[in-house]
């Protein structure tokens, strides 16, 4: 019969239409919030999703995967006296590996000896050029530069972030990437323990 | 991985004594053909030796040796390794090489590209105009002595970034803060672009005359570059007689950024995220092709677990590409948004997985030389399994129920001829379009790369070459990809995810490599020449969209203008890859 295929098509559309309402009603009957709740958003991004699929940004925001990466930031540790201990040593690996070459680092030189000091005088990232590839974070040997989760950074001016604007505390990093931060902290702790043991061994060997 | 030396099994030297010599440079294979004998040898390669598919034509500028080289890669549609042959000419303008368009019409656009970017004149080419650069452009940007407007240094990393990296906008170094370079004595008032005149002249030359059946004037219509259905900024100039297309010329390059040149400035690693931006629907496949090529050059193994992860990701990418294809085809046919939004749901779920493993939904940047960036945790493998076993098969069935029997759709697609097998091979078409024309040529089977030889799957093939077959074959391929992922999920071993130590500077020995993969749109190949330095000497992308589009003129002449948008949609082009 001519037109049977169209009816079949319309049946699919009808089912989808029906789902949008029955899903909402079934959530309501179960006393759960389908909208504006983490559970509802997670359900809508899962394999069981039916009915309305969209997430109403900015009222609702998608749950970000831990690995989600947006523009980089610099991590500092908070010392006991509240001082910022910048992890970056201005070794320049991120600037070398950066594909669009948007990282600019001014290395600090000791005014007396003129030898490099492992801390950046200034650090610029041109966020308009950054392509969010994550190489800087991946190849940083000091866990000093990391990718952010803060994605709504639209601005009226061009965005060249300097050191001040790039610095964020380690606690913030642990907040957005708990698993990565825990793993890296553990690795660093092990490394430092090994280093300390070695130093101790080195200190004791001449005596023995 | 096919051994490059296997190309030598064809003894061209014995067949053409004195005309062909073997390429003996270290790391290079294939044959050097005398310029004068190129056509003769090419005919023999196609007809006697059976290399019927000319996939890539490109040039390399050897500035130091004062040579310009044109490299041809020919393959058999029955599978197996390819044949590399090349022509070397002195690098003195005009550089002239005979055109192979008479033997393989598929060389058309690639020769135009080589002319545009490298300034190699192909004598006997029917329509040798610039293809990617804009009107009035002077010079040939891929030549080694050409410098871009904000030129800083020959290769990255730039020295100004560290250790004294005071930020400066590059345009501030230019007194007028723009990137325009005018030739001396240039007067913009008197300038008339040649390209437009050339375009219409060429359109007229290639127009069928008086075969439309209707006694009417021919009119020229420009579709695009901002036509909503040309998949981006593609402009097409068509000559119509009534509703019949009599002549057609695509105009492209609106999204051109000279990806090849960027790749030559970059280090090997830095190019990986740039390949994401080629075919932006399938960044995973693009990464795959590029790292496969460089791994071939470096001659390193890939970690076992990483191989499986790569295949899973590439096949997921294929599924979402074909879903998008179906949705966008429906948009092009006028079923605005309902089917495309249905497929977007499934695509979003796949992109969620990409985001969870790589950090980004579209610009994944996930593959590295020797492996991948990070491991997939078990919960994400479970999510992939749920999608692949439960959700996507059911939703694919639903899409088929939704669309395949619909009389309006069948009326639009069935029997509208796209291309037959013979022409598809001639025009170097690869991918689903070639397979829908009845040629079971799938690189995963024909020239297996990675670990595709371990999986049990069928090459999707259909035989009519009409639009309906081209549409249905996408569903077949989704099903086969699902099969591959299911097997990969069962077989995936534990273990390291990279065979190499993480290094931001890789050592690549001198030589050349041509790596190709079956991307969702066809054969995606990279041609990389290394001279042992940290940056590639020549980096060339052979995108499926660009080469497939070569046939659009042949496909559309004689068709109805109403079908044009659908015919173009069937080639599944994406401008990021086409314009590069």
Tens-place pLDDT, residues B51-109: 989 999 999 999 888 999 999 999 998 888 888 999 999 888 888 999 999 999 989 99
Question: Which of B365, B383, B408 has its CB closest to that of A134?
Answer: B365
- Asked if B402 and A116 come within 8 Å (Cβ–Cβ), the reply is no
Q: Point out which residues pair with B94 in neighbouring strands.
A: none
Burial B30-42 (b: 16+ CB within 10 A, else e): bbbbebebbbebb
B183 in contact with A, Cβ within 8 Å: no
Domains of chain A: 1-63 (no CATH), 73-196 (3.30.70.3270)
Q: What is B409-460 written as a DSSP string?
A: HHHHHTT-B---HHHHHHTT--THHHHHTT----HHHHS--TTGGGS-----
With contact defined as beta carbons under 8 Å apart, do B421 and B439 qualify?
Answer: yes
Tens-place pLDDT, residues B359-378: 898 999 999 998 999 899 89
Question: Which of A93, A95, A138 has its CB closest to that of B165?
Answer: A95
Tens-place pLDDT, residues A14-54: 999 999 899 889 989 998 888 888 888 888 888 888 888 88
Question: Which of A12, A53, A105 has its CB closest to that of B401?
Answer: A12
A118 in contact with B, Cβ within 8 Å: no
A134 min Cα distance to partner chain B (Å)? 8
Q: Which of B239, B218, B202 is closest to B559 using CA atoms?
A: B239
Tens-place pLDDT, residues A88-112: 888 889 999 999 999 999 888 888 8
Domains of chain B: 4-123 (3.30.460.80), 259-579 (1.10.645.10)
| pLDDT band at residue B3 using 50, 70 and 90 as cut-offs | very low
ipTM confidence score: 0.89
Residues 122-161 on A with a CB inside 8 Å of B are: 122, 124, 126, 131-135, 138-139, 147, 160
B154 in contact with A, Cβ within 8 Å: no
With contact defined as beta carbons under 8 Å apart, do B260 and B133 qualify?
Answer: no
Pair type for strands B244-251 and B120-123? unpaired
* B188 or B238, greater pLDDT: B238
Rama region for B414: left / alpha / beta (φ>0; ψ in -120 to 50; rest): beta
d(CA B487, CA B482): 9
- Asked if A45 and B502 come within 8 Å (Cβ–Cβ), the reply is no
Tens-place pLDDT, residues B488-508: 999 999 989 888 888 888 889
- Asked if B355 and A133 come within 8 Å (Cβ–Cβ), the reply is no
pLDDT (0 to 100) of residue B194:
73
Tens-place pLDDT, residues B529-563: 998 889 999 999 999 999 999 999 899 888 888 88
With contact defined as beta carbons under 8 Å apart, do B531 and B99 qualify?
Answer: no
Interface test with A, best of B266, B358, B360 (most A CBs within 10 A): B360
With contact defined as beta carbons under 8 Å apart, do B138 and B132 qualify?
Answer: no
Q: What mean pLDDT is predicted for residues B472-489?
A: 93
CB pairs under 8 A between A and B: 136
Question: Which of A6, A69, A131 has its CB closest to that of B408?
Answer: A6
Give chain B positions within 8 Å (CB) of A110: none
CB atoms within 10 A of CB A86: 20
pTM of the model: 0.90
- Asked if B158 and A106 come within 8 Å (Cβ–Cβ), the reply is no
| pLDDT band at residue B427 using 50, 70 and 90 as cut-offs | very high
- Asked if A95 and B164 come within 8 Å (Cβ–Cβ), the reply is no
């Amino acid at each position: 019969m001519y037109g049977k295929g169209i009816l079949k098509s319309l049946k699919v559309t009808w089912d989808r239409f029906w789902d949008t309402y029955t899903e909402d009603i079934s959530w309501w009957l179960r006393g759960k919030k389908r909208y504006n709740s983490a559970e509802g958003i997670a359900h809508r991004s899962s394999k069981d999703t039916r009915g309305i699929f969209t997430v109403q940004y900015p009222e609702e925001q998608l749950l970000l995967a831990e690995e989600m990466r947006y523009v980089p930031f610099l991590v500092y540790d908070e010392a006991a006296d509240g001082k910022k201990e910048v992890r970056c040593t201005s070794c320049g690996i991120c600037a070398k590996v950066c594909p669009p070459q948007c990282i600019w680092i001014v290395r600090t030189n000791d005014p007396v000896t003129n030898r490099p000091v492992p801390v950046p005088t200034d650090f610029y990232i041109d966020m308009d050029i950054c392509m969010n590839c994550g190489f800087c974070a991946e190849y940083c040997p000091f866990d000093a530069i990391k990718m952010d989760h803060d994605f709504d950074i639209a601005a009226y001016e061009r965005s060249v972030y300097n050191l001040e604007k790039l610095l964020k505390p380690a606690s913030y990093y642990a907040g957005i990437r708990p698993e990565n931060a825990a793993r890296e902290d553990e690795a660093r702790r092990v490394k430092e323990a090994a280093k300390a043991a070695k130093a101790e061994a080195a200190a004791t060997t001449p005596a023995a | 991985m096919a051994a490059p030396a296997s190309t030598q099994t064809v003894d061209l030297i014995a067949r053409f004594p004195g005309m062909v010599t073997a390429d003996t440079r270290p790391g290079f294979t294939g044959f050097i053909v005398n310029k004068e004998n190129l056509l003769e040898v090419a005919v023999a390669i196609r007809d006697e030796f059976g290399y019927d598919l000319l996939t890539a034509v490109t040039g390399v500028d050897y500035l130091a040796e004062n040579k310009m080289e044109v490299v041809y890669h020919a393959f058999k549609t029955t599978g197996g390794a390819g044949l590399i042959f090349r022509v070397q000419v002195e690098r003195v303008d005009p550089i002239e090489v005979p055109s192979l368009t008479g033997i393989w019409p598929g060389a058309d656009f690639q020769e135009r590209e080589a002319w545009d970017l490298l300034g190699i004149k192909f004598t006997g080419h029917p329509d040798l105009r610039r293809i990617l650069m804009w009107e009035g452009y002077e010079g040939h940007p891929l030549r080694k002595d050409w410098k871009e407007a904000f030129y800083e240094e020959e290769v990255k990393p730039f020295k100004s970034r560290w250790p004294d990296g005071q930020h400066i906008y590059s345009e501030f170094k230019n007194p007028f803060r723009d990137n325009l370079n005018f030739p001396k004595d240039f007067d913009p008032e008197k300038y008339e672009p040649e390209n437009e005149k050339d375009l219409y002249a060429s359109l007229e030359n290639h127009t069928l005359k008086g075969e439309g059946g209707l006694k009417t004037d021919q009119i020229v219509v420009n579709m695009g570059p901002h036509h909503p259905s040309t998949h981006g900024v593609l402009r097409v100039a068509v000559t119509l007689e009534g509703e019949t297309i009599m002549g057609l010329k695509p105009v492209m390059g609106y999204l051109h950024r000279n990806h090849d040149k960027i790749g030559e400035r970059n280090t090997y690693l830095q190019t990986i995220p740039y390949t994401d931006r080629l075919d932006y629907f399938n960044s995973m496949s693009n990464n795959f092709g590029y790292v496969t090529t460089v791994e071939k050059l470096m001659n390193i193994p890939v970690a076992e677990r990483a191989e499986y992860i790569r295949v899973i990701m590439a096949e997921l990418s294929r599924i979402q590409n074909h879903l998008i294809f179906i949705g966008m085809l429906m948009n092009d046919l006028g079923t605005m948004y309902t089917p495309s939004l249905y497929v977007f749901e499934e695509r979003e779920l796949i992109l969620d997985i990409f985001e969870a493993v790589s950090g980004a939904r579209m610009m994944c940047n996930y593959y590295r030389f020797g492996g991948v960036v990070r491991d997939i945790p078990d919960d994400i493998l479970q999510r992939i399994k749920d999608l692949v076993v439960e959700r996507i098969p059911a939703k694919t069935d639903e899409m088929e129920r939704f669309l395949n029997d619909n009389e309006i759709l069948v009326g639009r697609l069935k029997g509208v001829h796209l291309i037959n097998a013979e022409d598809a091979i001639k025009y170097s078409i690869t991918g689903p379009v070639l397979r829908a024309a009845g040629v079971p040529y799938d690189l995963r089977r024909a020239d297996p790369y990675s670990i595709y030889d371990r999986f049990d799957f069928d090459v999707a093939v259909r035989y009519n070459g009409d639009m309906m077959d081209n549409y249905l074959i996408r569903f077949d391929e989704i099903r086969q990809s699902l099969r591959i992922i299911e097997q990969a999920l069962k077989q995936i071993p534990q273990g390291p995810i990279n065979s190499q130590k993480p290094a931001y500077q890789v050592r690549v020995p001198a030589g050349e490599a041509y790596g190709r993969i079956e991307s969702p749109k066809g054969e995606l190949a990279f041609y990389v020449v290394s001279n042992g330095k940290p940056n590639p000497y020549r980096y060339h992308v052979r995108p499926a969209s660009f080469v497939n589009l070569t046939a659009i003129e042949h496909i559309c002449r004689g068709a109805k203008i109403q079908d044009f948008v659908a015919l173009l949609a069937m080639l599944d082009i994406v401008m990021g890859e086409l314009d590069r």
